[in-house]
Amino acid sequence: MPTQRIEKKPEKKPEPKSEKKTVAPKRTRRAARVDPDAVARLAYARFEARGRTHGHDVEDWLSAERELAE
């Protein structure tokens, strides 16, 4: 019975690390502190005004935060 020949795969050499430039993060508007209870009340009011249609909770919350932060 003939023996099988196992071929060795060539070893991969690690690629040299490229010099990456550090980029400063973009400045973002700092979030104003708003009362979470006020946000919840306003978001719930939006939910009720829509006829209690589910699936818009995050949208309601974020728009309530925006409105109260202004």
| C-alpha span between 62 and 34 (Å, rounded) | 12
- CA 36, 60, 58: angle at the middle one, nearest 5? 85
The residue extents of the domains of the chain are 36-69
| C-alpha span between 45 and 19 (Å, rounded) | 53
Higher pLDDT, 17 or 48: 48
| pLDDT score of 62 more than 90 | yes
pLDDT band at 25 (very low <50, low <70, confident <90, very high): low
